[in-house]
């Protein structure tokens, strides 16, 4: 594999890529209050939300993407983790793959995965019971 930043740096970048994509999709959905947009974005980019889509997305990765994800999933952050550790490890893996694709300029594949994440996240939202 090429000279790449560490898994945690890839995840840091991938987190920003996902956040921007989600915000763009939410804004394109029509007028809304910033507070509502923020809550909707936070719900979609949380470690729990990313871990929820991981199980379906994992089998769709290429061997190279799987290798990046595996290394990131095993990375040990030096900071406090919100949510559960297993969720954090899965979200780190997902974010690292997005950062990897972004750095390599693989925009078509990146767009494909981001759209799939959006789709899986939407399906997950629909399945939540109303409270």
CA 6-11-15 angle, to 5 degrees, is: 155
Q: Flag whether 130 is in a domain.
A: no
Q: Which of 10, 42, 14 is nearest to 26 (CA)?
A: 42
- The conformation of residue 111, written as its DSSP 8-state character, comes to H
Rounded CA gap, 69 and 78, in Å? 18
From 3, 15, 59, 111, the catalytic residue: 15
Q: Flag whether 131 is in a domain.
A: no
Q: Flag whether 43 is in a domain.
A: yes
pLDDT in tens, 22-79: 999 999 988 889 999 999 999 999 999 999 999 889 999 999 999 999 999 888 766 6
- pTM of structure: 0.88
Rounded CA gap, 124 and 126, in Å? 5
Place of tokens 């759209």: 115
Q: Which residues contact 51 (CB under 8 A, 6 or more apart)?
A: 86, 87, 90, 91
Q: Flag whether 1 is in a domain.
A: no
Q: Flag whether 53 is in a domain.
A: yes
Mean pLDDT of 9-18: 96
Query: What's the CATH number where 91 sits?
Result: 1.10.1520.10
Specify the pLDDT at position 22. 97
Domain count, the chain: 1
Residue 5 burial (CB count, 10 A): 14
* Residue 131, pLDDT above cutoff 50: no
Q: Flag whether 92 is in a domain.
A: yes
Residue 41 burial (CB count, 10 A): 20
Q: Residue 86 is part of which domain span? A: 7-125
What tokens were used for 73? 């999933």
Rounded CA gap, 85 and 92, in Å? 10
pLDDT band for position 123 (cuts 50, 70, 90): confident
Active-site residue 3, yes or no? no
For the chain, the C-alpha Rg in angstroms (whole number) is 14
């Amino acid at each position: 594999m090429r000279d790449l930043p560490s898994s945690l740096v890839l995840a840091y970048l991938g987190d920003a890529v996902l956040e921007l994509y989600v915000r763009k999709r939410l804004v394109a959905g029509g007028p809304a209050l910033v507070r509502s947009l923020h809550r909707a974005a936070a719900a979609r980019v949380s470690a729990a939300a990313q871990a929820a889509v991981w199980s379906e997305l994992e089998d769709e990765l290429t061997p190279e993407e799987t290798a990046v994800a595996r290394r990131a999933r095993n990375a040990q952050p030096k900071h406090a983790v919100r949510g559960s550790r297993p969720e954090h490890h899965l979200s780190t893996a997902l974010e690292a793959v997005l950062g990897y694709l972004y750095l390599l300029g693989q925009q078509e594949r990146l767009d494909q995965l981001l759209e799939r994440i959006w789709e899986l996240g939407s399906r997950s939202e629909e399945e939540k019971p109303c409270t």
